[in-house]
Each structure stands twice: as structure tokens, then as C-alpha cells.
Chains A and B, each alone.
Chain A
Amino acid sequence: MSDQKIQETIAIDMRGQICPACLLVAMDTLNKHREALTKGLEKLCIITDNREATTTIPTTARNMGYSVTVTKIDSFYQICVGRFTPDK
């Protein structure tokens, strides 16, 4: 899938939330939006200050066949999951 097919970003702000809310919400969202995500119509972007989530979410998402990027932004991390080229 190419980036051009991604039409919408599901953005979720999980900063400050209890552990492991970030992973639970990510898995829940990946399941609910599976069809659009696998077709490349959507991508999920979560911002979090939970360091553990930067490992657990990518591992889980990659096991489900998605591409994942983790980017440090200021004091938090942005984790994007979808069908796209990871380095873009």
C-alpha cells in the first residue's frame, strides 16, 4: 500500500494515562478499524509518554502485519500504525 491511499489519521492522545491503557486502547482501535487499516485507508497515531508502550505497541502491531513508526516529539513519543512504508 502506498501513503497516497491513507485518507484519514486516527489520532489518540494517551499522555498521562495509566499503564497499560495505551496498549489496550491501541489493540482495541486496531481491532475496531481493522478493515480500513488493512486497506490503507486509515492509520492510527497515538501520542504517549509511556516508554513501555513504544515497545509493546510496535511488537503487537507488527505481529498483526502492520508497519510501525516511533518518533520522539518534545517530551513524548508518537507511535503510528498502518499499512505504509515505515521510513516515510
Chain B
Amino acid sequence: MLTASTFLIYAVGGLIGLLAGFLMHRSDYCVAGMFRDTFLFRDSFRLRFLCIQLIVTMFFFEFFRMLGLLPLYPFPLLGFASAANIIGGFIFGIGMVMAGGCVVGTLYKMGAGSVISAVAFIGLIAGSALYAEFHPWWASFAKATIFFPSAKTLPELFGVNPALLFLPTASISALIFIKWHKENKIVRQSEVKGYIQPWKTAVALALFALVSYVLIGMPLGITIAYAKIAAMIESLLIPEHFSTVTFFQLTPLNITHPSTGALLQGGAGPQIDSLWAIQFPLIAGIVLGSTFSAMLLGEFSITYKVPRRQLIMGLVGGILLGISARMSPGCNVWHLMGGLPILALQSLLFLFGLIPGTWVGSKILAHIILKQSMQPTGNN
């Protein structure tokens, strides 16, 4: 296990990030787009890849759990389901559509030169800082609305072996995937250079989540690092105020890895801790991996001349993402690609909120885009 070596945690996170950024750019693996297009264009083609990723991850996690290779199960930082997950998911859904990408979509698009995604990235950090201001109140709300105080996952709630739920789910899903494959519904022709079929990226991302879970002790996560960046900036610019913000003083991760005996400790504060070591290399890797991919294709470009409405929408979307990722708590990567595969109740509720949120976000986005004035040979 890697948790005994901080250097290896950085190295594994960075490598996974680089590969993920490269693949997501090549496949345009946009989770926001998967939900948004289903509502906006009644096109669920790309949503199939998220289903594939979810089920493959579920299979990987369960197989390795049965082998005894996932001693931290359910994984750390996963809490009890509450109304906070639904509300957070709803706002997250609106935010990711408005920002033009989720917390990783924003990264790989920024890596390829998108100015709007760079603005959304700033919004994500600002949103994380804003959440810190009302964290005590929100934490009380979350605690007061816990639905099942004795279970964190659906198998725990039902009191059954996880395999009893996962094996039928995986089997039925496998039959559906075979049907999709036969009907040519998971492959499409593309005229762009270097296109990688999204199903391959879906399987790769499932594999990355497994590697992270087995070696580091938890699946991929990203947004606490955004909060840490916000804390770093705040501690430098307004140190007096910073010292009064309790959210930045907390240490939600504080466990000893049962396999290695290594102490995993960290929080949203500005210190360089385990969470920073796990999440920051992933962020940097995704951006750089996408930049590398775009440059190899000769497609890296920065266009500054974009409609102001879209810049504002990207910023607002980013802020909503930053706030809601802490309200949930956790982003789509954490919940959809990590929590849902073990049927975490928090993640299920996050999804229940996310779906109507993306619907609302799609309505807002379509309204703003179609309202912008279109001029021949350019639009501003």
C-alpha cells in the first residue's frame, strides 16, 4: 500500500491525473454534458458511458473487497445520508451545467485552453471560500436531517452482504451493455483527430478509481483541494478573518490505514497534509494531461474573445460548484465514481438532487445562449 510513502501518493495521483486528463480530452468525457444533453437534446448517448463506468467500478470494488484488499470499507470521509446531500446535489447540477463542466471537466477544458473553464476554476475556489463562511450552520442542518443514523450504504441499511446487491446489478447491467454493443449504441464515428471512444475512457476511469482505493485507501476525490487553495489564499490576504473560520481548522480525515499503519490526516485548511497529497497531484495531472493531449493534436488554443454573458455564467457556475461540493459534501467524482459503486446512501441522495439540478441548469444555459446576440463572422 502506498499510504506509507508520501512521495508515492503524489506520484500515483499525478500519474492518474495525467492519464485521466489525456483520455478525457480525447473522448470529451464531460459528465455535465452527459446529463445536460439528456435534458436539452433528449440525447442520452454519452450518459451510457457514465453507466458503464459506474457498473465497472462497482464490479472492481466488490471483487477487491471480497479479496480483502479494501480494508477501509466503506471508505473514509463518507458520512451518513441527510437532506444536505440532496440539496447539495441539486445546486451542484445547476452549477456544472452553467460552468460548462463539472469539477474535472472544468480542469481538462482549462488545460486545453478554455478561458471560460479557467474562470469557472476561479469560481470553484471562491465558492469553496464562501461555503466556509456558513459551514457551522450547514453542518448543524446536515446533522439534524440525517435519515439513517446507523447505515452509510444500502447493503448496511438492508443488513445484507454487499455481494447480494452488487452481483445481480452487475449481471443485469452486463446484459444491457451487450445489447447496446450489438445495437451499435456505444461506439460512434468521429471526424476529430485522435478521438478515443468514450467507453474506453469510462473503463480506464473505473480502473483509476480502483487503483486509488486499493493503494491510497479511498477513491478519487478532488474538491477538498479547491477548499485548501481557498484557505491558502485567504490566510495570506485576510489572516485575521481566516483565523475565525472554523471550517478551515477542522480535520475530517483522521484515520490509521489498517494495512500500512500510516496515519491519514487532513482537512480543508491550508496545511500540506494527506488530503493535499492525494488530491492536488490529481488536479495538476488532469490539467497537464489535457494540455499535453491538445498540444499533440495541435489543438491547444486560448480564445479570449468570448461573450461576457458566458464568462459570467461560467463564474457563477463555478461558484455554485464550489459551494455545493462542500454542502453535499463531495463532488460528482467522489459520489458518482466512488460512492455510488458501493451504493453509498449519501451518493444516492446526491444523484437524486443532481438530476433535477442539471435540468434546471440546462434551462438556464439554453436561455442565456440563445439570448446572446449572434453576429455573422463572430459573436460577442
B170 to chain A, nearest CB (A): 29
Q: Is A29 an interface residue (CB 8 A)?
A: yes
Q: A13-B378, A15-B303, A77-B192 are in contact. Are A28 and B370 (CB under 8 A)?
A: yes
Given A52-B33, A75-B298, A76-B301: A16 touches B188 (CB 8 Å cut-off): no
Binds A, one of B36-44, B224-232, B332-340: B36-44
Of chain A, the residue at the smallest CB distance from B25 is A51
A24 touches B377 (CB 8 A): no
Q: A21-B310, A23-B41, A25-B369 are in contact. Are A16 and B299 (CB under 8 A)?
A: no
Number of contact residues on A: which range applies?
20 to 34
Secondary structure at the A interface, as helix, strand, loop or mixed, is: mixed
A60 to B41, CA, bound (A): 10
- Chain A residues positioned under 8 Å from B36 (CB to CB): 20
Chain B residue total in the interface (Cβ 8 A): 46
- Which residues from chain A contact B304 at a C-beta distance below 8 Å? 16
Residue B379 contacts which of A13, A19, A75 (CB distance < 8 angstroms)? Answer: A13
The answer to whether B30 and A19 have CB atoms under 8 Å apart is: yes
Asked whether B299 lies within 8 Å of A49 as measured between CB atoms, the reply is yes
Which chain B residues border A23 with CB–CB below 8 Å?
41
Looking across the interface, which residue of chain B has its beta carbon closest to that of A71? Answer: B191
B159 contacts chain A at the CB level, 8 A cutoff: no
Contact pick for B376, options A11, A18, A24, A58, CB 8 Å: A11
Whether B191 contacts A17 by the Cβ 8 Å rule is: no
Q: Are B30 and A58 in contact (CB under 8 A)?
A: no
A19 touches B100 (CB 8 A): yes
* Cα(A9)–Cα(B23), bound, Å: 35
Q: List chain A residues, Cβ under 8 A from B113.
A: 49
| Chain B residues in the interface with A (C-beta under 8 A) | 28, 30, 32-33, 36-37, 40-41, 43, 100-101, 109, 112-116, 188-193, 195, 298-307, 310, 313-314, 365-366, 369-370, 374, 376-379
Q: Which 5 A-B pairs have the closest CB atoms?
A: A16-B303, A18-B100, A75-B301, A70-B191, A52-B28
Residue pairs across A and B with Cβ atoms less than 8 A apart, 20 shown, are A11-B376, A12-B379, A13-B377, A17-B307, A19-B30, A19-B101, A19-B109, A21-B310, A24-B40, A24-B369, A28-B370, A49-B303, A51-B195, A52-B30, A54-B190, A54-B191, A55-B189, A55-B190, A72-B193, A75-B301
Which positions in A face B, CB cutoff 8 Å?
10-21, 23-25, 28-29, 49, 51-52, 54-56, 58, 60, 70, 72, 74-77
